[in-house]
Chains A and B, each alone.
Chain A
């Protein structure tokens, strides 16, 4: 579990990106941080692995204050996926995926074998293993990014708009495979998006942020859609709430079947 207690981030130029945030993120589930651009989602995410240091307040991971953990050590135990994938252009796909195991000093042969298994798991043709990132499409690079984040089997995954830069068809398939993968892995995932549809599709719980870095609502998707906490949330959900709700319910209905299928494998 990850918890934020009274966390504020004020950047050196005076911008308050996150303002007195209290948030409990459940283990083994997908928690989505959603909100318009500039509302502090990325800042919140990056305070978990200390890429951004909180100005005030405490963040704990499984009861340990992150401020007490050496940043590189902390980060090697937390997978991180970003929008442009951030792959290393000079390393092959398998080497990219095996980055964290390499940093941890694990056996190279074993980590390369694991990397190839992960490729299959995230839907990548293992024939791509010896290619370089520039030789892959955007969607494929994103899959590599996910595989790299999973390579050392970290319990936590931070994902910052990982599917935003690909076209809608690829995005939908990445989302579906991501959900299927999460059914098997049960990681603690913090997922940032500005897209409410994506939030509703992926999140077990959704934290809606508003500009100024405050939490407008924190609830399950159907609570959010049924009872928006205020006008800001209502506006953010938009006018097609009814349609979205219907689609979400259908997905819920469809889920048991998909779950069984995943479990059979």
Chain B
């Protein structure tokens, strides 16, 4: 094993970072693109598949089998399998498996999210006169949002970390900093790559959390008041004034 940090050489050479800011920025931008596009594609595919599985429960076990198998495939193996079709160094080569991973994570999230809609809520939506489509869009999907968002956060963080593997087939992204550092026995790009990948994952997760809070103010309202309503249950309510 070649020592990465040699005697007298600092772990981070700030002057190198200063000189390569432009390049680092464009790798970061590539990384964001290659993580986000598969999320959107995976989500767009997972919604109808998840809805179909929730509607026809019998197709769910086989679909789950397929998505689990997809998820178990090692990323690098899929990249290499795809190269003959999409070309080495092509971003599509990286984004296809990531979209499939996203799909595998999100299909169960959509199914579980819809299953979390209480039966009495669904029944009362029917009784009130919601047709099937409006009931789905206005009642069932909004109630499924917290569960779907949890899956989306997992998929996003995992995609951001997996995009780095794409550097092995030369597609750019922050993973390039790792290969560059290893090839030249120079630790600075590796440290920059690690720090930026983690920072990107944290920022993306934070943004999704903020989005979730924005979309589901009711979910937190319920949690906040759970203690209060338990207290109310303990002492029976009297007639409201």
Q: Which residues of A contact B (CB under 8 A)?
A: 49, 51, 71-76, 80, 82-92, 99-100, 103, 123-125, 131-132, 134-140, 143, 148, 158, 167, 169-170, 173
Q: Chain B's nearest CB lies how many Å from the CB of A3?
A: 21
- A selection of 23 A-B contacts at a CB cut-off of 8 Å is A80-B128, A82-B123, A85-B120, A86-B120, A86-B121, A86-B123, A86-B125, A88-B143, A89-B218, A90-B139, A100-B129, A103-B128, A103-B134, A132-B221, A132-B222, A134-B218, A134-B226, A134-B229, A139-B237, A148-B128, A167-B236, A169-B236, A169-B237
In the bound complex, CA of A103 to CA of B219 (Å): 24
Let me know if B238 and A100 touch, CB within 8 A: no
Let me know if A91 and B121 touch, CB within 8 A: no
Q: Is B142 an interface residue (CB 8 A)?
A: yes
Q: Chain A's nearest CB lies how many Å from the CB of B127?
A: 4
Interface of B is mostly: helix
In the bound complex, CA of A167 to CA of B232 (Å): 12
Q: Is B124 an interface residue (CB 8 A)?
A: yes
In the bound complex, CA of A89 to CA of B145 (Å): 12
- Chain B residue total in the interface (Cβ 8 A): 36
Q: Chain A's nearest CB lies how many Å from the CB of B54?
A: 18
Selected from A99, A124, A131, the residue in CB contact (under 8 A) with B128 is: A99
Selected from A51, A139, A170, the residue in CB contact (under 8 A) with B127 is: A51
Let me know if B238 and A169 touch, CB within 8 A: yes
Q: Which of B127, B238, B239 has the most CB of A within 10 A?
A: B127
In the bound complex, CA of A244 to CA of B218 (Å): 44
Q: What chain B residues lie within 8 Å of A140 (beta carbons)?
A: 237, 240
Let me know if A75 and B124 touch, CB within 8 A: no
Q: What chain B residues lie within 8 Å of A143 (beta carbons)?
A: 240
Let me know if B232 and A137 touch, CB within 8 A: yes
Q: What chain A residues lie within 8 Å of B222 (beta carbons)?
A: 89, 132, 134-135
Closest to A134 in B: B222
Closest to B215 in A: A90
Let me know if B126 and A75 touch, CB within 8 A: yes
Known: A135-B229, A167-B236. 18 other contacts (CB 8 A): A75-B129, A82-B127, A86-B123, A86-B124, A87-B124, A88-B125, A89-B118, A92-B218, A100-B128, A100-B129, A103-B128, A132-B218, A134-B229, A135-B221, A135-B225, A137-B232, A137-B237, A173-B239
Q: Chain A's nearest CB lies how many Å from the CB of B213?
A: 13
Q: What chain B residues lie within 8 Å of A123 (beta carbons)?
A: 239-240
In the bound complex, CA of A124 to CA of B142 (Å): 26
A-contacting residues, B90-143, CB 8 Å? 118, 120-121, 123-131, 134, 139, 142-143
In the bound complex, CA of A36 to CA of B204 (Å): 56
Let me know if A82 and B124 touch, CB within 8 A: yes
Let me know if B129 and A72 touch, CB within 8 A: yes
Closest to A49 in B: B127
Let me know if A84 and B130 touch, CB within 8 A: no
Let me know if A125 and B129 touch, CB within 8 A: no
Q: Which of A72, A92, A125, A138 has the most CB of B within 10 A?
A: A72
Let me know if A72 and B131 touch, CB within 8 A: yes
In the bound complex, CA of A139 to CA of B129 (Å): 24
Closest to A122 in B: B240
Q: Is B241 an interface residue (CB 8 A)?
A: yes
B205-241 interface mask toward A, CB cutoff 8 Å, 1 = contact, 0 = none? 0000000000011110110111011001100111111
Let me know if B129 and A76 touch, CB within 8 A: yes
Let me know if A51 and B123 touch, CB within 8 A: yes
Q: What chain B residues lie within 8 Å of A173 (beta carbons)?
A: 238-239
Q: What chain B residues lie within 8 Å of A148 (beta carbons)?
A: 128
